[in-house]
Structure 1
Amino acid sequence: MNQSYSTADKQDTRQAQRFSSTSIAVLTIYSLVVLMIFGSRLVSPSLGGLSQLMTVLYLSSFLVICAFGQGLVIMVRGLDLSVASMITLGGVLSTTFMQGTNEGLYFIIPGILLISALVGGISGFGITRLSIPPFIMTMAMGLIVYSVCLGFTEGTPRGFPAPILNAFMQSKVFGVALPILLMLILIVIFTTLQSYSAFGRKLNAVGNNPDAANIAGITVKRMTISAYAISAACSALAGVLLAAYANGATLRMGDDYLLPSIAAVVVGGSSILGGRGNFLGTVGGALLLTTLSSMLSALGVGQGWKTVLEGVVILVALLMLREQVFASLQSMFKRSS
């Protein structure tokens, strides 16, 4: 009996330590974002103001949506390399079907999301039922989707998004852009779904130990397929919004979001090995990457050096957010007290 109590106490202690390290990681990420925004004024007087903050929030909204789906896939020990192609699919389908009118808008967007979720479900099916590695399956599906978009558009996407979507992307309420408000609403929904719902807890269990989750009655394969379906739908939604933002679609519109969608999840404190995820940390990672990108663009840094500097910052952030660092800091504070 004492041994069972001891084991339970150890498990509670490990969970408390993990919660503590996750909380510290989230706070660290947001602190870095704040320091980077306000510290950028030292580099250029045009940076570091409220306008830059609003710009960062606006531009990060697309990455936040993509990173949520990517985070779910990573949580179940997977990886979605079809993000860029699914963004392109969402943008191409939205401009092609809408043709610059509002007619049928409320059927077109759900239809696009449903088609995209089906594509993601096929990826999940190949991974779970055919035992194809996630890296290979999602990369192959991404190539297929991109090729379909290329053939469908004959190399040049045509059409325009609905005027109501253009108005949405350009409108403000009390000085705050509507896409920022949409992002805040989605953050609440996504955080609840990932961290506080039965669905999120099941995904977490699958990522921690698939065999134990299966014994506990969780349909591991179905949960994994659903994660890939949601990821594809999120990427397509980002593509619809990007097309409305740019007033058109391009075949390479999703290229800038594949690696950042993975980096935002990992930098945000989630484990690339699965079983641990925190969407608020992912949001912080997306804000950090968007802030860095906007700063480098404002300074006129070339694309090559920009990529190098972004990689260095991501590497430094990952080193700072390692659990060993948090453990060392905790032990240091204990000794000093």
Structure 2
Amino acid sequence: MSVEDDMTATDAAAAAADTRGAARIGSEPITIAVIFGITVLLILSSRFISPAFGGWSQTETILFLSSFLVFCSFGQGLVILVRGLDLSIASMITLGGVLTTTWLAGSNDGIWYVIPAILAVSAAIGSISGIGVTVLRIPPFIMTLAMGIIVYSLCLGYTQGTPRGYPAPALADLMRAHVLGVPAPVLLLAVFVAIAVVLQSWTTFGRRLYAVGNNPVAAHVSGLSTRRLTIGAYAISAMCAGFTGIALAAYANGATLRMGDDYLLPSIAAVVVGGSSILGGKGNFLGTVGGAILLTTLGTILAALGIEQGWKTIIEGAVILVALIILRESVYEAIRVWMGRTSAG
């Protein structure tokens, strides 16, 4: 081998090593960074709309409003992770709000067992959806849609068309409280996100969900109970939706039969924009959080501009499509190659 050939081989090996080093930067960190970066730019640029925008006060408001979407998107993300879809979220949010106002009836008495009872009822309903998907082999789309219709009909009959009552004063006070100058709901959001990230990414349960989503057959052959894991994901999704209903009822000081409608499609959009694969097996909850905050920020700005609902929906859909195009795996691969060439140069 000539000296020139030896140098070429050495350079190729070095370039390959650099490319492998760049590849260590996975798509998930890039997705999260891009989403939060876009969100920050949107918030800062909103100052051109109004001098009152673009500051910490608006940021607090956005975080507060996005918390409801983050709560329900976590469960939706787990279901999507195992190759499912939960279309019952809107009805489960309504159920959580209706039970909060009717069971508590404006009193703090029993709040410590009523709230867990509502979450337990929600989880039980979610488990039924999971059983239908895994045992009866009903497609997730059909099963959760049917459960959503059933739950909504039960809420309609239970309230006779008009939800009555009020949440416990303690819940309403919590939504208005501040701790060290920070709204209590924002701190609640931070705690929820921390717990959710640990559950999805750092626990055995979370890692097994990824395994089921990547390859259900291989997961089953390796000894994992794919049915139980899938049912667990649906149960958590319904419980998160019920929790969202509780929070919304406390915030609005009441419940309505359509209170969950605005969160069904955005919960799916937040998960997908956050980098999760709709085919399952891939996703990071921090990306979902970024997606939820991004969608909330966009909605807030469009509302401030006074854009009609039809155009608002079109713009939101366009932004989601653009985000999905930008955050494709091919784009990440191009970035990795560019980083490898830069390092080699």
Q: Give TM-score scaled by structure 2 length.
A: 0.92
CA contact (8 A) 2:22 2:339 kept: no
Structure with the greater alpha carbon radius of gyration: 2
Q: Tell me the SS of whatever aligns to 2:40.
A: helix
Distance in 2 (alpha carbons) for counterparts of 1:168 and 1:301:
32
Query: Does 1:110 pair with 2:116?
Result: yes
Partner of 1:252: 258
Query: Does 1:53 pair with 2:53?
Result: no
Q: Which amino acid aligns with 1:268?
A: G
Q: Is the alpha carbon distance of 1:174 and 1:276 closer, same or farther for their aligned partners in structure 2, counting shifts above 3 Å?
A: same
Q: Is the alpha carbon distance of 1:269 and 1:15 closer, same or farther for their aligned partners in structure 2, counting shifts above 3 Å?
A: farther
Partner of 1:170: 176
For structure 2, the residue ranges without an aligned partner over 5 or more in a row are: 1-18
- The alignment of Structure 1 onto Structure 2 pairs a total of residues equal to 325
Distance in 2 (alpha carbons) for counterparts of 1:330 and 1:239:
42
CA contact (8 A) 2:129 2:143 kept: yes
Q: Which amino acid aligns with 2:97?
A: G
Match of 1:274 among 277, 280, 297: 280
CA deviation digits over 1:85-133, x for unaligned, max 9?
Answer: 0000000000000000000001100000000101000000000001100
Distance in 2 (alpha carbons) for counterparts of 1:49 and 1:302:
25
Distance in 1 (alpha carbons) for counterparts of 2:20 and 2:215:
16
Give the drift of 1:25: 0.6
Give the drift of 1:33: 0.6
Q: Alpha carbon RMSD of aligned pairs, Å?
A: 1.5
Query: Does 1:185 pair with 2:188?
Result: no
Partner of 2:201: 195
Partner of 1:132: 138
Query: Does 1:119 pair with 2:120?
Result: no
For structure 1, the residue ranges without an aligned partner over 5 or more in a row are: 1-12
Partner of 1:7: none
Give the drift of 1:204: 0.4
Partner of 2:221: 215
Match of 2:167 among 161, 165, 184: 161
CA contact (8 A) 2:209 2:229 kept: yes
Distance in 2 (alpha carbons) for counterparts of 1:305 and 1:15:
44
Partner of 1:234: 240
Match of 1:301 among 298, 307, 329: 307
Distance in 1 (alpha carbons) for counterparts of 2:162 and 2:326:
44
Q: Tell me the SS of whatever aligns to 2:154.
A: helix
Distance in 2 (alpha carbons) for counterparts of 1:16 and 1:164:
51
Partner of 1:315: 321
Q: Which amino acid aligns with 1:156?
A: T
Q: Tell me the SS of whatever aligns to 1:272.
A: coil
Partner of 1:4: none
Partner of 2:103: 97
Distance in 1 (alpha carbons) for counterparts of 2:340 and 2:110:
62
Query: Does 1:335 pair with 2:336?
Result: no
Q: Is the alpha carbon distance of 1:106 and 1:14 closer, same or farther for their aligned partners in structure 2, counting shifts above 3 Å?
A: farther
Q: Tell me the SS of whatever aligns to 1:214.
A: helix
Give the drift of 1:18: 7.6
CA deviation digits over 1:244-291, x for unaligned, max 9?
Answer: 000000000000000110011111111110001100001000100000
Partner of 1:205: 211
Q: Tell me the SS of whatever aligns to 2:26.
A: helix
Q: Which amino acid aligns with 1:86?
A: M
Distance in 2 (alpha carbons) for counterparts of 1:233 and 1:39:
36
Distance in 2 (alpha carbons) for counterparts of 1:265 and 1:30:
14
Partner of 1:9: none
Distance in 2 (alpha carbons) for counterparts of 1:277 and 1:314:
17
Query: Does 1:148 pair with 2:154?
Result: yes
Query: Which is further off, 18-27 or 321-330?
Result: 18-27
Give the drift of 1:16: 8.6
Distance in 2 (alpha carbons) for counterparts of 1:333 and 1:194:
30
CA contact (8 A) 2:23 2:336 kept: no
